[in-house]
Every structure is written in C-alpha cells, then in structure tokens.
Amino acid sequence: MGYSLFNDMEVFVAHHLTPSELADQLQMKRQEVIGMCVEMGVPIFHGRIDRTLFECSMRAFRAGRAGSPASS
C-alpha cells in the first residue's frame, strides 16, 4: 500500500524563465519585463524570474495604481 504526502494538497511548481521567455509568454518587451521587476521588487536570480511571483506582483501593482487618485 503506497502513501503519498500530496493526497489532499495542491502543489504549485515555480516556473523560472529568462526575461525574454517571460516577455514572449506575456506579450511584452524584454525591457518592459526587466523594468517591471525593478519597479515591483521582483528578483531576477541567475538571469531568471519566477513567473508566478511576477504575475501576482503585476496584478497587485496594477490594482494599486487603479485604486490610487490621479496626480494633478
């Protein structure tokens, strides 16, 4: 009888991509991806970015911008 540690747990796998690969998948330019990482504080470690962290940070960043009053 086998026993699995992941019977009722959801498992998330990190997807670490280069800025170019991430830009291609998100239909952005490479420099935009790098700039967004710097602006949002998403680390680029050994030339790779965690896609899940980048997307979550970008959603939160955009939601924060949408909720803030426009500068006059």
Q: For 55-71, write each residue's pLDDT tens digit.
A: 999 999 999 887 766 55
Predicted confidence at residue 72, as pLDDT, reads 47
Say if residue 72 is exposed, middle or buried (CB neighbours under 10 Å; 0-12, 13-18, 19+). exposed
Radius of gyration of the chain (CA): 16
Predicted confidence at residue 45, as pLDDT, reads 95
| CA atoms of 15 and 29, how far apart (whole Å) | 19
Predicted confidence at residue 15, as pLDDT, reads 87
- Inform me whether the pLDDT recorded for 6 exceeds 60: no
- Inform me whether the pLDDT recorded for 35 exceeds 90: yes
DSSP assignment letter at 69: P
- Phi, psi (rounded to 5 degrees) for 40: -95, -10
